[in-house]
Amino acid sequence: MVNERMHGLGAEPSAIRELFAYGMARKAEIGDENVFDFSIGNPSVPAPDAVKDAALALLEQPAVSLHGYSPASGVPEVRATIADSICRRFGIEASPENIYMTVGAAASIAISVSAVTEPGDEVIVISPYFPEYKVWIETAGCTCVEVPAHVPDFQPDIDALAAAIGPKTSAVIINTPNNPVGAVYSRASLEALADLLSTKEAELGRELYLISDEPYREIVYDGIEVPYVPNVYARTLVCYSYSKSLSLPGERIGYIYVSDRMDNAAQVVAAVAGAGRALGYICAPVLFQRVIAACVDEPSDVASYAANRALLTEGLAALGYEFVEPQGAFYLWVRALEDDAQTFSDRAKAHELLLVPSDSFGVGGWVRVSYCIARDTIERSMPAFKALMEEYRG
């Protein structure tokens, strides 16, 4: 006997991870250049030189203090640097005490959900949504309530959210810029959401938290505005990660910022620390805590992703594919050529195209195409996309 839920989660990896693993095996079989792997969000842009420079400099420091434990919430100077950066960039009086360093965005969200819910509560996600949200919500003993985004702009559907919020609702998770559709929530959308949450708080007599998952904050196109969520809704926990902005997904480094504008911020900060402890986190990896402090205002290389986006969207449009024009992140949400996304993904595989079916994101009929890959792969994949289209359209 082992834990049944854990066994299920381990034996059936996420659709993304499964396709990624298939891709690795397939590349070993027929050669890297013959597989068009659009499965995972592993940045193709290298970490900036500043990351390497900072790491090399840090490694010259005395090893005992360099590699020793940090407080559970993080190295004090690192938290101060991040708080200062938030303050400068977003005009909010961020306190270092409200920053809790984490082992990446996944840890940030798992900890945040466990901190602000009780078992039996409901947490709302906006579909399509990153599938692991549901896993972490269920770890907290809560129910994942899926509310479809407004179509065709994939902004939050305020009426649908109003209908879904009830006496068991504790939190809403949003992700803007969005994985998988690439939508960036407008200021108007966020303000409408904030109004709704405030109204419902008063109506229900309970706190409603907004958990804002923001690893793609810096990756946006055409100069679009990404409003800072704590400036729009006070009861916000920002879950940030440097995985995408600094191309460090494997180093697992990010933070939770509990908005200073929240009336019960100190209580939430304590619950976050407790949840981190309960889930087995001691502190975030200390070398990379210090690396990101040194690189806190390093710009992300958006130009590469913008070029990929143009190449992919122009190519697929010319072939007759339908998709959502992404405003941010590095995923293209493409309409499957048949209702069953899994079958479509399987048929794409026969052309060596690895496209993640939309079902695990909470909706049918689409695939997610990650374009944080080598430009050359996108170029060379076009004949395969063409053949796939011809197979369907004859």
Site for a copy of itself in 192-231 (CB under 8 A): 206-207
When binding is defined by CB under 8 A, the residue of 28, 30, 33, 46 that contacts a copy of itself is: 46
From 26-34, 44-52, 78-86, 336-344, give the range in contact with a copy of itself by CB under 8 A. Answer: 44-52
Give the per-residue contact string, 321-340, with a copy of itself (x = CB under 8 A; - = no): --------------------
Among the listed residues 326, 285, 363, the one whose alpha carbon sits nearest the alpha carbon of residue 177 = 326
From 26-34, 59-67, 212-220, 328-336, give the range in contact with a copy of itself by CB under 8 A. Answer: 59-67
**Could you give the C-alpha distances from 235 to 114, 210, 229, in angstroms and in order?**
16, 6, 10
Q: Which two tokens stand for residue 387?
A: 């053949």
List the Cα angle 264/297/376 in 5-degree steps.
115
Q: How far apart are CA 266 and CA 289, in angstroms?
A: 23
Q: Does 299 bind a copy of itself (CB under 8 A)?
A: no
Q: Does 302 bind a copy of itself (CB under 8 A)?
A: no
From 49-57, 226-234, 339-347, 385-393, give the range in contact with a copy of itself by CB under 8 A. Answer: 49-57
Cβ closest to a copy of itself, residue 115 vs residue 293: 115
From 45-53, 90-98, 173-181, 310-318, give the range in contact with a copy of itself by CB under 8 A. Answer: 45-53
Amino acid residing at 190: L
User: What pairing do the DSSP bridges indicate for beta strands 323-324 and 331-335?
Assistant: antiparallel
Cβ closest to a copy of itself, residue 38 vs residue 154: 38
Q: Does 315 bind a copy of itself (CB under 8 A)?
A: no
- Which long-range CB contacts under 8 A does 389-394 form with residues at least 24 apart? 389/319, 389/320, 389/321, 389/337, 391/347, 392/337, 392/338, 393/320, 393/337
Q: Does 7 bind a copy of itself (CB under 8 A)?
A: yes
From 57-65, 321-329, 338-346, 350-358, give the range in contact with a copy of itself by CB under 8 A. Answer: 57-65
Q: How far is the CB of 205 from a copy of itself (least distance, A)?
A: 10
Q: Does 13 bind a copy of itself (CB under 8 A)?
A: yes
Give the per-residue contact string, 99-128, with a copy of itself (x = CB under 8 A; - = no): ----xx-xx-xxx--xxxxx----------
Beta-carbon contacts of residue 172 (< 8 Å; ≥ 6 apart): 123, 124, 125, 126, 161, 165, 193, 197, 208, 209, 210, 211
Residues 128-167 that bind a copy of itself (CB under 8 A): 132, 135-136, 138-140
Instruction: Determine phi and psi for 148, rounding to 5 degrees.
Output: -60, 145
Sign of CA dihedral 166, 167, 168, 170: positive
Q: How far is the CB of 74 from a copy of itself (least distance, A)?
A: 10
